[in-house]
Amino acid sequence: MGRMSENAEIQATTVTTDHILGTPWGKNRTRILMLGSGELGKEVTIELMRLGAWVCAADSYEGAPAAQVAHESRVLDMADPTALQALFDEIRPDIIVPEVEAIATEDLAAAAGSGIQVVPSADVASICMDRERLRVLAHEDLGLATTPYLFAGSLQELRRNAESVGYPCVVKPIMSSSGHGQSVVDSAEGIDAAWHEAQVGRRAAGAGSVSRVIVEALAPLDYELTVLTVSSSAGVVTCPPIGQRQEHGDYRESWQPAYVDPQVLSTAQDMASRAVRGLVSQARRSGERGWGVFGVELFVLDDGSVLFNEVSPRPHDTGMVTMISQRLSEFALHARAILGIPVTRDHVRLCIGPDRVAASHALVVHGEGEVGFGNVAQALACPDTDLRIFSKPVVHGHRRMAVALAVGDDETRARALAARVAGDLRQERS
């Protein structure tokens, strides 16, 4: 594949989509199908319904967060092509919004081919679910800087390629997320265990197939950034950068804006824009729009250099902070973009005032069974705080059940206040 021009621009499209909104029970309603109904899908569903769309929320279990607020809901295995096609035939959506990775992508492609708008596109959804295709596009086609990497389809190939990349290294299944199946390997003695973890710990591990893996050098990481990037009928724009803290590859805290060196900021925003423009170009080549919010994940190294890591073709969990930091949250921006409403730089501005920082703190519950929360009044006594309780039916092992939000005079105070909100909640178990 030839490398695309680094200066290639995606022009604002002149195509407009005049969706009929405000008549969810009418004959001319705009029908939207959410594939994935977790906490992120719930917020997108609410924003779409505020704009007058009809929404059906689908997930693999009863009572998922978005299913609690949507007009209708369905329960199915979205990785099952037969079940997914039956759902498409029943709902007859105008727009399909994937919010999870475990989806039968061939059916998304067929839906797009029949004229249904897939967000951001069927091809982009498939690329972003596949670390191999995404890394090749980002590094080899778009010229974005990344960690050194190789791919492997067997344990023997992984052993050879890990030696080439060097230790320590990171081994990840090419199709997974949130740290599932990922291992940090310090020496050759850990490769067998890393291969095993990639096969059994990844999402969709029960599918029975052998997963290819990516092995990449462990970079001297200083910190990570998320740059939410919006593709709409007005073109591509980036939100102020978001700092984050993870545990075992899963989000725990985020804050916005992340005050970083001006050169790092410029490079990060440029890199995010180039990544999304490349994906939008891919969508356009297949006749799709490529509209929506993208969560571009970047590494900032000890020397200040910025590396591309991954991109999520949907709102990002670290972006939950935008529910308190931006005039329009990432969920509102996603809803606008996919409906053909233009999103410009003025739409992605912060609303917290100069020299203020917003923070989010995920509340992860461990255990089994139903979990509720008490002491909410005390937790939200401070006016600079907010809370989203996801209302997930049960916990099995550990599960993200709420997010606390806060605004402070600086990053330290904002993060501490958000953590205090989460800590003040009392877990009620039955």
Active-site residue identified among 273, 400, 408, 415 = 400
Whether 270 is a known active-site residue: answer no
The domain ranges of the chain are 148-217, 221-429
Distance, in Å, from the CA atom of 200 to the CA atom of 206, rounded to the nearest integer, reads 8
Question: Superfamily assignment of 221-429 in CATH?
Answer: ATP-grasp fold, B domain (3.30.470.20)
Q: Comparing 148-217 with 221-429, is the CATH topology the same?
A: no
- 345 phi and psi, to 5 degrees? -60, -35
Whether 368 is a known active-site residue: answer no
Active-site residue identified among 177, 211, 231, 325 = 177
List C-alpha distances in Å: 278 to 89, 137, 231, 311, 355.
32, 8, 11, 12, 33
Active-site residue identified among 250, 310, 327, 391 = 310
Whether 317 is a known active-site residue: answer yes
Confidence at residue 203, expressed as pLDDT on a 0 to 100 scale: 64
Whether 367 is a known active-site residue: answer no
HEC readout, the chain: CCCCCCCCCCCCCCCCCCCCCCCCCCCCCCEEEEECCCHHHHHHHHHHHHCCCEEEEEECCCCCCHHHCCCEEEECCCCCHHHHHHHHHHHCCCEEEECCCCCCHHHHHHHHHCCCEECCCHHHHHHHHCHHHHHHHHHHHCCCCCCCEEEECCHHHHHHHHHHHCCCEEEEECCCCCCCCCEEECCHHHHHHHHHHHHHCCCCHHHCCCCCEEEEECCCEEEEEEEEEEEECCEEEECCCEEEEEECCEEEEEEECCCCCHHHHHHHHHHHHHHHHHHHHHHHHCCCCCCEEEEEEEEEECCCCEEEEEEECCCCHHHHHHHHHECCCHHHHHHHHHCCCCCCHHHHCECCCCCCEEEEEEEEEEEEECEEEECHHHHCCCCCEEEEECCCCCEEEEEEEEEEEEEECCHHHHHHHHHHHHHHCEEEEC
Whether 189 is a known active-site residue: answer no
Which pTM does this prediction carry? 0.92
Confidence at residue 176, expressed as pLDDT on a 0 to 100 scale: 62
Active-site residue identified among 39, 123, 216, 297 = 297
Task: Give every residue of the chain whose pLDDT is below 70, as ranges.
Answer: 1-17, 176-179, 203-208
> Which own/partner contact pairs does 18-27 have at CB distance under 8 Å and 24+ positions apart?
18/340, 19/53, 19/94, 19/339, 19/340, 21/51, 21/52, 21/53, 21/339, 22/52, 23/52, 24/49, 24/52, 24/53, 24/54, 24/71, 25/54
| Closest to 407 in 3D by CA, of 328, 326, 335, 325 | 325
Whether 400 is a known active-site residue: answer yes
Active-site residue identified among 99, 107, 253, 317 = 317
According to CATH, the topology of domain 148-217 is Dna Ligase; domain 1 (3.30.1490)
Strand partners, 171: 183, 215
Active-site residue identified among 176, 229, 281, 318 = 318
Whether 177 is a known active-site residue: answer yes
